[in-house]
Structures are given as structure tokens and as C-alpha cells.
Amino acid sequence: MTTGAGIYFDGETSARREVAVALAPETLVIMDARGDELAEWAYADIEHLPAPAHVLRLGLRGEPVLARLEIHDPAFASAIDDRALTVDRSGATDRRARTRVILWSLAATLSLVLAAVFVVPELAARLAPLVPAGVESRLGEAVDAQVRTMLDNRNLGDRLVCGTQAAERPGQAALETMVAKLTRAAALPVKLTVIRREEANAIALPGGRIYVFQGLLAKAESADEIAAVIAHEIGHVAHRDGTRAMLQAAGLSLMFGMLLGDFVGGGAVVIAAKALIQSSYSREVELAADAYGTRLMAQAGGDARALASILNRIEGERKPGARIWLDHPDAQARARAIHAIAPPGAGVPLLDAEQWAALRRICTD
Amino acid sequence: MLDQTETSPPRRALRETARFHGSTADYWRLMIRGALLLMVTLGLYRFWLATDMRRFLWSNTEIGGETLEYIGTPIELLLGFLIAVALLVPVYGGFFVAALDLGVLGQISGVLAFLLLAVLGHFAIYRARRYRLSRTVYRGIRFRQTGSAWRYAVCAVFWWGMIIASLGLAYPWAQARLERFKMDNTFYGDLPGQFDATGWSLFIRGLPLWILVVGPFLAGLIVAVGWVDWAAAAAVTRQGGGDILGQIEGASPGFGAAVVIVTLAAVWAVLAAAFLYPAFQALTLRWWLGGLRLGTVAAASQLRTRQVYRAYARFLWYSVLFTLAASVLGGLALLVIGLLGSAVDTALGEILVTVFLLGAYVIAALAYSTIYQVTVRLALWRLGLESLTLSGTAALDRVKAVGRPSSSFGEGLANALRVDGW
């Protein structure tokens, strides 16, 4: 029978004992210096435990008492390795188990990515119409303060909002006439505010608040062009795109942020991935809002093609390369789609020349 | 082999020291493989990597002639994490709804959420420590931790509030109090832990560093505040209008100089803090190790500050090397991808470039973290251990086993909340 030296801890006390270990056919027997048996472990029950490279550390599987046997002699360690299947000094068993884990987590990753790309947007789209109007307008008001702070990039404070000066009153009245014509046709209440920002842009919040940027008033060549952009934004409100985007963002951050946790740099990846997924999705959303805006302009009696002309103008002036996230589809493609659905005829301008001139004076003090 | 050469010093001397057997090359291998797997599994591999890291660190740590053993498993960590997520989802949902409330609740919901998450975070840190201790075995006996995690969490949040309010001056007492809380509830079998270092001793050692970092900043702030005519500046701000800063400068001539002074003071504080951080870490580690007690076993540390600086220098050096290599390779790859993409379609080119930059960001973040883990964390572990002198180690021979393993919920919660602590 093979015997060797070991160090034994019985798991009841921390006493260190130098022992002799005898390898029987089915068990290993641990004996003290006088040859008295301290323990007998069946090879099948032995557990191979983490230890420094030069030590083989063994325990008994599933035992609450953590008895330990340490073998420092490499030849004797390999003799035990030959007899006990669970002893895995080459690490082959561990590597096999690890490969399985890696394959499973790859599969889990793939399914999460698929869920993020296909399931979450679909769910958000299904859920958004179910959100009651009252909740939606609350949602809009709750984010309004933050949105305003974000829009106020020049720290204007109260001066961010235009239309409050006496000189702007005729322009503000003209704007209200225009909005009234659109909301009557849309049968949707909206709250429209012009703000001091140089970009030619407009945004809609859930619940019907719309911000038109001063830059848009400057770029437009007719009142109908502004009306067309507002009609496009009303399209976003009617389609509940804001609510949908918020639901989608919440779903994605829950999924990526919480489930996957934040391994280094994970946070930034989540944000960028969200932007990427959302931008690919928002192209359809923009086209749908274009279609809605075009129809709404026609219903209100204005020029249904005005949206196409202002889009082309704004896009033409943009620097190449500024379109990183592609959140708006190509202006030409959008214009083609608008022309395809716009009814024939130019319509009657929503504002007369005097009202249009007054409108352009908003924000110019 | 190792056995003969390494145990040759008399066991007596061995009993009073601690050593680390792990090779840095092995740890590099483990960490780099872990980083690659983290990347392809979007981080799901972290439970396995954390377990591997602990197994390596624990089993190569020799204290008084015997090595530690980590018996936790990745599955335990994963389960604890899933339970924590399941419990946190309703909490996050509640705060989302509360934030929509336009009344008082909505306004204070941010503060409430912050406080609750701070308390939960420290709760998780305490429970995670309990998990790790109960998975730490030494000479066939496990460690354990008692005590209420909620009490610890409230205590910790209070003391962190004090630290912030005192600009860091309360840090030594906070550390001493929290460490005493942890160690008074720590046991090795039936051997009770204790923490013997005082806040005063850390305060006296750390005060020069604090003065170097915060002193000039405070002085700059006070001088700058004196230069500005606050009444005039307030009047101008109330009027509003574009170019507020210019108007304030007009109303109160010292304003521009004051802004410059405050900026310089802040830059000084940041630079000094960065440069002195290793020294701070060395003295805190020395203080902490010197305060640890287990029954009659006491520790003292002769950790050298310059060794810690050397670890950070190595971190900087490897980071610079990586940055250089990555910029060259990354720049070339970006060029090729951009050209290839644009040849087909502009939009495709842009998407490819964006995806590439995203991937590059993840790789860089993981690489720096890996370099840090090996050059700084592992080095500090090794240096801390090798700087130890133990006394009263005879008590380690007569410890009786007590206690059972605890659940990994705390560890999972810490993971879900992204807090870490030891």
C-alpha cells in the first residue's frame, strides 16, 4: 500500500497535525504519528480544493465540517490523483465546465441583444397607446423642467421663452391662429412655445408640449413651412412617440443596466447601444410623423409640400459628417415620400402676408 | 521542490510573517482571459472572474505558515445577484412613479432615492463582507461575521455625511468607527476579532496630506470671495440678459481675477490629490493592518510608501504603453473601416465607425481596469501581506469551529447596486 506524508486539519479545531496517509483500494486512511487512524475518506467523496500551486488540498464533499488534508509531495499527490476521479490537478474538468458556462453566457448575451433590438421596441409600441392621456401629460410635465434646462444652453433663464414682450404680441397672435387651425384639424390639444435657440429644429414632449426653435423661424421662407414642421411634431404627439421612447429607454436601461450590471465601461456601452437602437428605430417614426404632418397640412387647407421644401433647405445647409446618429432619414428620401402622398394643388397659405411678417419678429428683440 | 526550499526557515519565524505565493504572470493570464470573456458575454462572466480572482488571491495568501482558502462558487454569486435584481426592480419602479408626481413627493423623490440607495449600498457592502468571510477557510475553520447590516448601513451613511460636511477631516474617525463595527462582529471560529487603531492616530498621520490638498484650495476660495462685490453681482444677475459673466465683471471688477484664482486652486487640489493618493493609501493601509486583532493575535505593518508609489508608477507605465499601441492599431483600423464603409455607402461607413469606436471604448476601459487590477490591486495585496509582523499567533492553534455559511444575497445586491468594499 502506498503511503505518504500530509498535513491534516480535522475541521473541529485549528490544530495542525503532521500525518501519514495510506492509500487503500477504495479509501485513503489518515493516521497520526503513532499509527492511530484519524479519518478514512472514500475516494468518491473527496473534493479537490483551491490551494497554492505546490500544494494538493483535499476535503470531503458536502460536509459541514471542513476537514482538510494537504499534500506537499508532488509524487504522492499524483498517486492520489490517479485514484480519485474528482481530483483534477490538470484542470481539464474545470476547463470543460468553464467552456459550458462561456457558451451559455454567449447564448444569453445573444438573446438579450435580440430582445433589445426587437422585443423592447415592439413592447414599447404596444404599451404606449395604452397609457392614459392624463398619465401621459403628467409624464410630459415631469420631464418638461429637465428638457428646458437642457435646451437652455446659453443660460438665458426666463429669457429662453420668446413671445412675452409687447412687440411680439402680433406675432404670437399669428402663431396662435396657425396652431388653432392645425389643432382643429388634428383634434388634439397642443401647447406651443418658441424658444431662443439657433438651430432650425422643433421637439415634442409626451402630452402635447411642443418647442419651436427660433432658428426655424429664421430659416423658413413661408408660414406654411413653419406650420408643416409643427404639423410633423403634432404627428409625434398623436403617435405618442415621446411616451414610446421613454418606455423604450426605461426598458433598455432596466435590461442592460441592471441585469448585466456595470462591468467597467458598461454604462457608456448601454447609452451608446440605446442611441444606436433608438436611431435605427426612429427613422420609421420620423417618416410616420412626416406622413401625418403632410395629411394634417392638407386637412388644414395649407401647402402639404411645405415640409419637403423646408427639409431640403435645412439639410442642404448642414455640414457633411454632422449626421452621425442618423436620427433623421435622408432629407431627399423624406421629401420624395411627402410628394408621393401630398394631394395636388398648393392650398391656401395658413397666414396672410401681414401675419407672416409679424410671426418672423418673434424672438428678434 | 518548493516544499523543501520554502519551508526551510524555522517554523517559528514562519509563524510570525505572512507571504504571497502567487505569480504576477499567472494573475495577468487570469485577468486578460477574464477581460476577453467579459467583453463577449457583456459582463455576465463577472461572477466567474470574481471567483477566480478570489481563489487565486486567497489560496496564495500564507499567514503564519498556512494558506487561506476561498470556497465560494460563481453560481452562488449569480443567484444572489438575481435575487437582488428581483428585489430592486420594484424599488426602482416605485421611484420612477414617484418622480412623476408633481407635488412634494416628486420634488423630494430624488433625495429619497439617493438616501435609500446609499443605505442599501452600505447594507450590501456589509452583507457581501459576511458572505466572503464565511467562504474563507483557514486551517479547516471558517471565518464568520455577525451584527445587523441595517445598523451598519445607517452608521456608514451618517459617517459619510460627516466626512463630506467636514471636507474629509472626519474621515479617520469614520474609518475607525466603521472598522471597529466590522471587526467586533468578525470571528475566526471562536476567536473574536477586534479593531485597535484609533481615529486620532490616523488623523495625525493624514493631516499633512489634507493640508497640502485642501489648504491652498480653501485659501484661494476665501481670497476670491473677498474680491467680488457680491451685492453688485447679485443685482446684475437679477436683471438677467445675455453675457451674464461679462456684466458681473463690469459691476464687480475683482470677478475675473477671482474666477482665475478659484480655478487655479481647484486645479492644485486635483493635482495634489492625484499625486498624494498613493501616500494616503499607504498610510491608511498601514494604519488599518496595524489595528487588526483576532483574539490575542495582533498585526503590525511596515509597508513603505515608496513601494506603493512604485506600484502606481508601474500602472502609469503600462497604461502609457497600452495607449500608444492601441492608438496606432486603432487609428489604422479606423482608417481602413471608414474607407471600406464609405466606398459602399456613406451611412454604412458612419455606422461602422460608430460601432468600432464603441468597441474601442469597451476594450480600452477593460484594459485599463485589468492593468490596474494587476499592477496596483495585486501589488497592494502582496505588499500589505509581506509587510506584516504577527504576534500572539499561538492562539491560532486552539481555535474551535463555529458557524455556517451565509447567503450570497448581500454580494448580489452589491453587484446590482455597483458598490464594492472590503
DSSP string, A40-69: EEEGGGEEEE---TT-EEEEETT-SS--EE
> Do the domain assignments include residue A108?
no
Confidence of residue B240 (pLDDT cuts 50, 70, 90): low
Q: Are A10 and B81 in contact (CB < 8 Å)?
A: no
pLDDT at B1 over 50: no
Q: How many angstroms away from the CA of A353 is the closest CA of chain B? A: 32
- Average pLDDT in the B359-380 region? 91
Residues A142-156 have pLDDT tens digits of 778 777 877 787 777
Q: Which of A55, A112, A258 sits opposite B88 (nearest CB)?
A: A258
- Average pLDDT in the B75-87 region? 85
pLDDT at A315 over 90: no
In this prediction, residue B406 carries a pLDDT of 67
| Mean pLDDT comparison of A3-12, B33-42, B376-385, highest-scoring range | B376-385
Confidence of residue B109 (pLDDT cuts 50, 70, 90): confident
Neighbours of A165 (CB within 10 A): 14
In this prediction, residue B27 carries a pLDDT of 96
Residues B191-229 as b/e (b if ≥16 CB within 10 A, e otherwise) read bebebebebeebbeebeebbebbbebbeebbeebeeebe
Neighbours of B14 (CB within 10 A): 18
In this prediction, residue B381 carries a pLDDT of 95
pLDDT above 70: percentage of residues in chain B:
84
Dist. CA B269–CA B283, nearest whole Å:
19
Beta-carbon contacts of residue A91 (< 8 Å; ≥ 6 apart): none
Q: How far is CA B34 from the centre of its chain?
A: 19
B60 touches chain A (CB under 8 A): yes
φ/ψ of A5, rounded to 5, equals -100, 150
Q: Are B141 and A14 in contact (CB < 8 Å)?
A: yes
Beta-carbon contacts of residue A342 (< 8 Å; ≥ 6 apart): A294, A298, A304, A305, A308
| Of A54, A60, A50, residue with least CA distance to A11 | A60
Q: Which of A98, A259, A265 sits opposite B361 (nearest CB)?
A: A265
Dist. CA B355–CA B329, nearest whole Å:
16
φ/ψ of A162, rounded to 5, equals -95, 175
Q: How many helices (H) and strands (E) does chain B have?
A: 16, 10
- Average pLDDT in the A108-121 region? 83
A64 touches chain B (CB under 8 A): yes
> Which chain B positions have a beta carbon within 8 Å of A101's beta carbon?
45, 48, 74
pLDDT at B367 over 70: yes
> Do the domain assignments include residue A109?
no
Q: Are A268 and B100 in contact (CB < 8 Å)?
A: no
pLDDT at B350 over 90: no
> Do the domain assignments include residue A172?
yes
Dist. CA A112–CA A189, nearest whole Å:
39
A36 touches chain B (CB under 8 A): no
In this prediction, residue B398 carries a pLDDT of 87
Beta-carbon contacts of residue B102 (< 8 Å; ≥ 6 apart): A138, A141, A142
Beta pairing, strands B136-138 & A2-9:
unpaired
| Of A201, A196, A216, A194, residue with least CA distance to A154 | A196
Please indicate, yes or no, whether residues A58 and A143 belong to a single structural domain of this protein.
no
- Average pLDDT in the B133-143 region? 92
Please indicate, yes or no, whether residues A46 and A165 belong to a single structural domain of this protein.
no
**Helix, strand, or coil (residue B418):** coil
Confidence of residue A58 (pLDDT cuts 50, 70, 90): very high
Please indicate, yes or no, whether residues A283 and A346 belong to a single structural domain of this protein.
yes
Give how far Cα B279 sits from Cα of B276, B291, B303, B313, Å: 5, 18, 11, 13
Q: How many angstroms away from the CA of A111 is the closest CA of chain B? A: 11
DSSP notation for A290-316: HHHHHHHHHHHTS-TTHHHHHHHHHHH
Q: Which residue has the higher pLDDT, A199 or B2?
A: A199
pLDDT at A323 over 50: no
Q: Which residue has the higher pLDDT, B241 or A101?
A: A101
CB B72 within 8 A of CB B133: no
Residue ending a domain, among A61, A89, A117, is A89
- Average pLDDT in the A29-55 region? 89
Please indicate, yes or no, whether residues A65 and A141 belong to a single structural domain of this protein.
no
In this prediction, residue A312 carries a pLDDT of 83
> Do the domain assignments include residue A115?
no
**How many folded domains does chain A comprise?**
2
Q: How many angstroms away from the CA of A297 is the closest CA of chain B? A: 31
Q: Flag whether the ipTM exceeds 0.90.
A: no
> Do the domain assignments include residue A13?
yes
Confidence of residue A71 (pLDDT cuts 50, 70, 90): very high
> Do the domain assignments include residue A103?
no
Residues A214-234 have pLDDT tens digits of 888 888 888 899 999 999 999
Confidence of residue B5 (pLDDT cuts 50, 70, 90): very low
pLDDT at A250 over 80: no
Q: Are A326 and B141 in contact (CB < 8 Å)?
A: no
In this prediction, residue A147 carries a pLDDT of 78
> Which chain B positions have a beta carbon within 8 Å of A270's beta carbon?
none
Supply the pTM of this predicted model: 0.79
Please indicate, yes or no, whether residues A141 and A242 belong to a single structural domain of this protein.
yes
Give A13's strand partners. Answer: B400
Q: Are B85 and A258 in contact (CB < 8 Å)?
A: yes
B205 touches chain A (CB under 8 A): no
Beta-carbon contacts of residue B122 (< 8 Å; ≥ 6 apart): B152, B153, B156, B157, B419
> Which chain B positions have a beta carbon within 8 Å of A157's beta carbon?
240
B86 touches chain A (CB under 8 A): no
DSSP notation for A163-223: S-SGGGHHHHHHHHHHHHHHHHHHT---EEEEE--SSS-EEE-TTSEEEEEHHHHHH-SSH
- Average pLDDT in the B286-296 region? 94
In this prediction, residue A265 carries a pLDDT of 41
pLDDT at A320 over 50: no
Q: Which of A106, A142, A264 sits opposite B100 (nearest CB)?
A: A142
Beta-carbon contacts of residue A255 (< 8 Å; ≥ 6 apart): A112, A115, A116, A120
A91 touches chain B (CB under 8 A): no
**Helix, strand, or coil (residue A28):** strand
In this prediction, residue A360 carries a pLDDT of 86
Q: Give the chain B residue nearest A269 (alpha carbons).
A: B358
- Average pLDDT in the B388-414 region? 80
In this prediction, residue B273 carries a pLDDT of 93
Please indicate, yes or no, whether residues A272 and A326 belong to a single structural domain of this protein.
yes
Neighbours of B105 (CB within 10 A): 13
* DSSP H or E run through A22: strand A17-23
| Of A42, A33, A41, residue with least CA distance to A7 | A33
Q: How far is CA B275 from the centre of its chain?
A: 18
Please indicate, yes or no, whether residues A184 and A72 belong to a single structural domain of this protein.
no
> Which chain B positions have a beta carbon within 8 Å of A109's beta carbon?
40-42, 44
> Which chain B positions have a beta carbon within 8 Å of A257's beta carbon?
none
| Mean pLDDT comparison of A103-117, A323-337, B292-306, highest-scoring range | B292-306
Dist. CA A322–CA A201, nearest whole Å:
15
CATH code of the domain containing A64: 2.30.29.30
From A291-295, A361-365, B6-10, the region with the lowest mean pLDDT = B6-10
Q: Which amino acid is at B130?
A: R
Q: Give the chain A residue nearest B367 (alpha carbons).
A: A264
> Which chain B positions have a beta carbon within 8 Å of A131's beta carbon?
none
Please indicate, yes or no, whether residues A80 and A143 belong to a single structural domain of this protein.
no
Q: Are A263 and B241 in contact (CB < 8 Å)?
A: no
Neighbours of B362 (CB within 10 A): 22
| Mean pLDDT comparison of A45-59, A150-164, B372-386, highest-scoring range | B372-386
Q: Are B92 and A254 in contact (CB < 8 Å)?
A: yes
CB B27 within 8 A of CB A247: no
A265 touches chain B (CB under 8 A): yes
Q: Give the chain B residue nearest A262 (alpha carbons).
A: B418
In this prediction, residue A242 carries a pLDDT of 81
Domain containing A271 equals: 134-359
- Average pLDDT in the A114-141 region? 84
Please indicate, yes or no, whether residues A139 and A82 belong to a single structural domain of this protein.
no
pLDDT at A272 over 70: no
Please indicate, yes or no, whether residues A74 and A170 belong to a single structural domain of this protein.
no
> Do the domain assignments include residue A40?
yes
pLDDT at A325 over 70: no
Neighbours of B125 (CB within 10 A): 25
In this prediction, residue A215 carries a pLDDT of 87
pLDDT above 90: percentage of residues in chain A:
16
- Average pLDDT in the B368-380 region? 95
In this prediction, residue B2 carries a pLDDT of 40
Q: Which of A16, A52, A138 sits opposite B397 (nearest CB)?
A: A16
Q: How many CB pairs under 8 A join A and B?
A: 168
pLDDT at A257 over 70: no
Residue ending a domain, among A33, A60, A89, is A89
Q: Are B66 and A64 in contact (CB < 8 Å)?
A: no
Q: Give the chain B residue nearest A75 (alpha carbons).
A: B1
Dist. CA A186–CA B206, nearest whole Å:
68
In this prediction, residue B99 carries a pLDDT of 66
Mutation target vs A (from B4, B14, B42, B62; most A CBs, 10 A cutoff): B42
Q: Per the structure block, which three cell numbers stand in for A326?
A: 442618423
pLDDT at A266 over 50: no
Q: Are B244 and A155 in contact (CB < 8 Å)?
A: yes
Dist. CA A119–CA A121, nearest whole Å:
6
Residues A176-213 have pLDDT tens digits of 999 999 998 888 888 898 988 888 888 888 888 888 88
Q: Which residue has the higher pLDDT, B98 or B225?
A: B225
In this prediction, residue A218 carries a pLDDT of 87
Please indicate, yes or no, whether residues A76 and A214 belong to a single structural domain of this protein.
no
A107 touches chain B (CB under 8 A): no
Residue ending a domain, among A57, A89, A121, is A89
Q: Are A52 and B60 in contact (CB < 8 Å)?
A: yes
A364 touches chain B (CB under 8 A): no
Dist. CA B103–CA A47, nearest whole Å:
60
Mutation target vs A (from B8, B139, B377; most A CBs, 10 A cutoff): B139
Please indicate, yes or no, whether residues A43 and A150 belong to a single structural domain of this protein.
no
> Do the domain assignments include residue A129?
no
In this prediction, residue A69 carries a pLDDT of 94
Q: Are B401 and A268 in contact (CB < 8 Å)?
A: no
φ/ψ of B297, rounded to 5, equals -75, 125
